[in-house]
Amino acid sequence: MLAGILTDTIRGLIGDQAIYFALAAIGLNIHFGYTGLLNFGQAVFMAAGAYGLSMTVVTFGGSFWVGLFVGAFVFPVILALVLGIPTLRLRADYLAMVTIATAEIFRLIARTPGLDKWTGSSDGLSGFARDFYDLSPFEPRQRYLFNLFQGNQMWVFVVGWITVGLMLLLTYLLINSPWGRVLKAIREDEDAARSLGKNAFTYKMQALILGGVIGAIGGMIRAIGTQSAQPDNFITDVTFFAWVAVILGGAGTIFGPVIGSMMLWCVLAFADTAMRQGVSSGALPDWLLTGTQVGQVRFMLVGSLLIFLAWRRPQGIFGNKEEMALDDR
């Protein structure tokens, strides 16, 4: 029993969910941590990646590699432009409202039965990832890494963490470039940046696109990992998981989002398994908690974490209060 909890916790720490949300959080960190954009619709960028890939392959019969390009660049860039053009000139909370509304509305559109032949409605699309798994050097039926992962999971694990590493490197290089310094200047004082002749709107738009693309890559890997793109995998609450990851690890730090995502999923996996064991062994009575309710407690946990962090520790665990905190402005 304890061994089961331990394995699940470790799987949470380094497993698939930590990877998807690490990527989503890296993107969000560029939005919020470095530029100060309040994107509450990271879920829709993730969905853009997942649907960009799956619709290219399943709906339009394109190749997987074209799908990767569409999912990583075409869909999220269009989305960022649509979201950004009306809102980026305005106060930060307008972007928040527009993004959260878009995320929910996109999900509703994707599950509309009338669009079944395009989006697969509420069942979503599947069967687009075989080219990816054909490249796998792992034997699907074998277990790897101390029996933690099956072959195909292991393949996603390897590719996923390599992608995370590349994105961290990209973030590091960009943020320490002149371009990145302008972003931080905009975050600190947009008017000052503008008065120095920087076009704040353009920089904010570029940051929105970049973070959106990284989030879309996360969504795409999620779609590949679960072998399906389903609207309900991208509910608005998914965005808040990424937010918790960013704030927990420390917004405005390079490694913060990744560490935050790993810690978040480690805690969630531990709580989940412990509660499930409690339910199945009868330690937690039925009137208190049933198997279905375990998943709901997870969201309460995430909500409480957000409240706690924003209130008590806005710089997160590793963040530097001087560099970036929620309280900056």
For other proteins, which is the closer residue by CB, 90 or 177?
Answer: 90
Task: Decide: is 145 part of the binding site for other proteins (CB under 8 A).
Answer: yes
Segment 84-123, which members bind other proteins (CB under 8 A)? Answer: 85-87, 89-94, 96-98, 100-102, 104-105, 108-109, 111-114, 122-123
Task: Decide: is 320 part of the binding site for other proteins (CB under 8 A).
Answer: no
3-state secondary structure the chain: CHHHHHHHHHHHHHCHHHHHHHHHHHHHHHHHHHCCCCCCCHHHHHHHHHHHHHHHHHHCCCCHHHHHHHHHHHHHHHHHHHHHHHHCCCCHHHHHHHHHHHHHHHHHHHCCHHHHHHHCHHHCEECCCHHHHHCCCCCCCCEECCCCEEHHHHHHHHHHHHHHHHHHHHHHHHHCCHHHHHHHHHHHCHHHHHHCCCCHHHHHHHHHHHHHHHHHHHHHHHHHHHCEECHHHHCHHHHHHHHHHHHHHCCCCCCHHHHHHHHHHHHHHHHHHHHHHHHHHCCCCCCCCCHHHHHHHHHHHHHHHHHHHHHHCCCCCCCCCCCCCHHHC
For other proteins, which is the closer residue by CB, 177 or 320?
Answer: 320
Segment 214-233, which members bind other proteins (CB under 8 A)? Answer: 224-228, 230, 232-233
For other proteins, which is the closer residue by CB, 206 or 236?
Answer: 236
Task: Decide: is 128 part of the binding site for other proteins (CB under 8 A).
Answer: no
Smallest distance, Å, CB 91 to other proteins? 6
Smallest distance, Å, CB 72 to other proteins? 18
The residues near 285 (Cβ < 8 Å, ≥ 6 apart) are none
Smallest distance, Å, CB 270 to other proteins? 13
For other proteins, which is the closer residue by CB, 56 or 152?
Answer: 152
Task: Decide: is 240 part of the binding site for other proteins (CB under 8 A).
Answer: yes
Segment contacting other proteins (CB under 8 A): 69-77, 179-187, 206-214, 240-248? 240-248
Contact with other proteins (CB under 8 A) among 268, 274, 275, 284: 268
Q: How far is residue 187's CA from residue 31's CA, in Å, rounded to a whole number?
A: 10
For other proteins, which is the closer residue by CB, 91 or 117?
Answer: 91
For other proteins, which is the closer residue by CB, 255 or 314?
Answer: 314
Give burial (CB, 10 Å; 0-12/13-18/19+) of 30.
buried
Segment 18-47, which members bind other proteins (CB under 8 A)? Answer: 38, 40
Contact with other proteins (CB under 8 A) among 66, 74, 174, 235: 235
Contact with other proteins (CB under 8 A) among 1, 135, 173, 192: 135
Task: Decide: is 134 part of the binding site for other proteins (CB under 8 A).
Answer: yes
Segment 149-208, which members bind other proteins (CB under 8 A)? Answer: 150-158, 162
Segment 68-87, which members bind other proteins (CB under 8 A)? Answer: 82, 85-87
Segment 278-297, which members bind other proteins (CB under 8 A)? Answer: 290-293, 295-297
The residues near 161 (Cβ < 8 Å, ≥ 6 apart) are 14, 19
